[in-house]
Structures are given as C-alpha cells and as structure tokens.
Amino acid sequence: MFDEAERRYIEHGVYWYRTLVDAVFSDRSQVFIYVLQRQGQVRLVLPMLLSRPKKGWRASSLSNYYTAIYEPLASDAAGEADVAELLDLVRKRHAPLDSLRFSPMDPQSRGYRLLLEGLRQAHFFAYEYFCFGNWFQRVDADWAAYLATREGAVRSTIKRMGKKFAAAGGRLQLICEGPELETGIAAYEQVYRASWKTDEPYPNFVRGLIRMCAERGWLRLGVAWLAEQPIAAQIWIVSNGKADIYKLAYHEDFKSYAPGTLLTAMLMEQAIDRDGIAEIDYLIGDDDYKRAWMAERRERWGIVAYNPRTRHGLLGLGRESIARRVKYMLDKLGFRKTHSLAKRAVPALPTQTPP
C-alpha cells in the first residue's frame, strides 16, 4: 500500500514517514499506523498522531509543516464505511477522543472524500478548511520551449545574470549522490543560515531527507558557488515523472547576482530535458515569485472533526461553529479574502444528530 501510494507522492511512502518520524517525532508513543483488513486484504491505512494535552485525546494526521500533502491509503475496495469503522476503533482505544485533524490534503482526491464522509458516518462533526495554495506546471515540451513561454523579465534575468555570475567566477553545481553529498549538505546549511529564513526547527530532518533522496535516486541538490563560497542552494525531489521544489535559500549579501533564479533555471532544464518529468510542483504557498515559473494553481485543504460525546469535543464544536459564522459574515461584508473553495470554509452544521 505504501509503495503504491509513493508512486503518486513520496510523502505517502514508507521512506518519507521513516525520515519524518526519526527526526521530528521522537516520542514514538504518539505515532500510530492504523490498518483495516478484510479477508486478509488491506483496505485502509491511516498514519496518525495521538496526543493527550489535557483530559481528552486529540488525533491528527502523521504530518507537520514539512508535509506538502497527506492522504489515507485506501484500496479500490475501500469505502466510507471502512473509514468510519477504523475511526470508531481509534475513538474506543483513545477514549475520550475529543477531536481529529487531517491536513494538508487534495480536496479533489478520493482519499479526502473518503475521510470526510467516513468521519461523518462515525458521528463526528466534520468541517473543511483551507490550508494553502499550490503552484505547479505541467510539462509537455522541452526546456527551450518552456522558457519561451515565460515572461521576458525571467529570460532577461537568466541571460544577464548568468553572464555577470560567470564573469565573477561563479559556478553552478548539481549533486545527486556520491562523495559530494555531504559537502552539498554543509553548503545548503551554510546558505540557509545566511538567508532571510528562520532557523530550521529540526535540522536533522532536512539532512535525513537529502540523504534518503540520494539513496533512492530522487535528489537534485543545486548549489551556486562564488569564490568557493555557497551563496544559494535548492533541494529538488524528482520521482515518478514529477519534480518537487522542496527547499530553497540564498545568501542575501549576494542577491544582486540572482543566484536563486540561475539555480532554478539549471534545475528546471535538468528536470525537463534529462529527467523527463511531466510536472513541476512548488508545493507550499502563494509566494509571488512562483507565478513567474508556474502556470497553474490548486489548493490544499484540511479536515477538522469534533466528537460531540465528550465535553471538550462539544466545546470545540461550539467554538468552531461560532468562528465560522463570524467569518461568513465578514466575508459577506467584504472584510475577508475568500478562496476558490470558500463555500466549504463555512458550512452549516452537519445534518446529523449527536448519538
């Protein structure tokens, strides 16, 4: 099940989960992989985190801010009733279970709909919410043809800054595996510390991810060097016809060379012309610079659900309902920005009676 799901997104596979758990979730007692089988066949796999911050339990997807997409693993035979049965088992084993939260997910996916309807069949009050925008580019041409579709400013920057960077002694390096790997990791971390970004909360995760991707043949680590100093770095993950732009950073003192743009161009050419990918994915967020490279946008959403059988679950349900009604009124009055799936953000209370 994990191997099959990994062919769609690496974050659905065993190697991703192992890397995430090893580096981030040191308290293994919180990590659960719930599995439903019927007649010896696995129908459903639900990687989860269970914690008990107060009196009741809280459940969530086995994911965090490093995760660009999450999904339950479901066979073709799995249905909403299977999800409800597995969630009912979770509720019984972790009583009192107050709430559940799953994110980020593709709201158009089968797994998302199964989970949403399964929660409601299990008598949880489930709501959908927006997580972030996701910019991506379908690829059906070579690098030269793709670049010709970009704005003139992008093409001009690549040409002008490429000459300036080379004249100053700069060079671009691509690392996929081998003896240069540890040097590449050190270079990435040096650039990251000198960038505008906040400190990495779990640096061992990024190191582990780079090493794991190198072992699997997925890694495309780009480093821009100037006078033997790394001034920009990007981590791309290439697997199953898809290139994920996972991490990027540049040294602010050298931004006049546009090293990030030059690295992106090099890695784009590598992914399109040599790796033969069909899609490039910028993963998380609506940053302005992504529009210069990507032509399409989709959204990632989450599901939060409350158990009306528990005191804290009922309180959470009340707060959720009030907050959504307030947001709805603000949206109607034009005080809030809405999303393309905004109608999901403020649903009426589910039409079900608390058991």
How many distinct structural domains can be found in the chain?
A: 2
Give CA–CA dist 136/138, Å, rounded.
7
Residue 328 CB: number of other CB atoms within 10 A? 16
* pTM given for the model: 0.90
Question: Does 198 reside within a domain?
Answer: yes
Give the pLDDT confidence of 293-345 residue by residue, as tens digits: 999 999 999 999 999 999 999 998 998 989 888 888 888 887 765 555 444 44
Q: What is the CATH number of the domain that holds 165?
A: 3.40.630.30
Q: Is 246 helix (H, G, I), strand (E, B) or coil?
A: strand
Q: Are 292 and 151 in contact (CB under 8 A)?
A: yes
Give tens-digit pLDDT for 45-81. Answer: 999 999 998 778 999 999 999 999 999 999 999 999 9
271 and 149 inside one domain: yes
Residue 292 within any structural domain of the chain:
no
Average pLDDT, the chain: 92
CB atoms within 10 A of CB 110: 13
- Cα-Cα end-to-end distance for the chain: 33
Are residues 100 and 34 part of one domain?
A: yes
Q: Above 50 in pLDDT, residue 114?
A: yes
Q: Verify that 90 and 201 share a domain, yes or no.
A: no
Residue with tokens 């800054």: 161
Is residue 155 located within the same domain as residue 201?
A: yes
Residue 118 inside a domain? The answer is yes
Residue 170 lies in domain: 140-277
Banded model confidence at residue 244, pLDDT cuts 50, 70, 90 = very high
Q: What is the DSSP letter of 183?
A: H
One-character DSSP codes across 164-213: HHHHTTEEEEEE-SSTTHHHHHHHHHHHHHHSSSPPPS-HHHHHHHHHHH
- Rounded Cα distance between 289 and 54, Å, is 42
